Amino acid sequence: MVESSDEFFEGKRPWSKIKDEVLEKYMTPYLAKVNTRGQPILLIDGYAGPGVFEDDELGSPLIMCDKAEERAKGNYHAIFINNKRKYHERLLKEIQQRGWSNSAEPRLGDTQLVLRDIHKVLKGQTVFLYLDPFGPTGCDFDLLSPFLNRNPNYSTELLLTMNMPGMHRLAALYWLLRIPVPKKALMLALPILFLCNLHIRKVT
Ligand SMILES: C[S@@+](CC[C@H](N)C(=O)[O-])C[C@H]1O[C@@H](n2cnc3c(N)ncnc32)[C@H](O)[C@@H]1O
- What are the residue ranges spanned by the domains of the chain? 5-160, 164-203
Within 10 angstroms of residue 123's Cβ, the number of other Cβ atoms is: 8
Residue 133 Cβ contacting ligand 1 at under 6 Å: yes
Pocket test for ligand 1, best of 65, 82, 194 (most atoms within 8 A of CB): 82
Pocket test for ligand 1, best of 15, 18, 83, 92 (most atoms within 8 A of CB): 83
Q: For ligand 1, atom 4, name the residue with the nearest CA.
A: 49
Q: What is the pLDDT of residue 1?
A: 43
d(CA 2, CA 24): 27
Give the architecture-level CATH label for domain 5-160: 3-Layer(aba) Sandwich (3.40)
φ, ψ dihedrals at 98, nearest 5°: -90, -5
d(CA 175, CA 163): 19
Q: What are 13-28's pLDDT values in tens digits? A: 888 899 999 999 999 9
Q: What is the pLDDT of residue 164?
A: 75
| Interstrand relation of 76-82 and 126-131 (parallel, antiparallel or unpaired) | unpaired
Q: What are 154-185's pLDDT values in tens digits? A: 999 999 987 777 777 777 776 777 666 666 66
User: For the whole model, what pTM was predicted?
Assistant: 0.85
Pocket test for ligand 1, best of 134, 142, 160 (most atoms within 8 A of CB): 134
Residue 81 Cβ contacting ligand 1 at under 6 Å: yes
d(CA 97, CA 90): 11
Distance 135 CA to ligand 1 centre (A): 10
Q: What are 91-122's pLDDT values in tens digits? A: 999 999 999 999 999 999 999 999 999 999 99
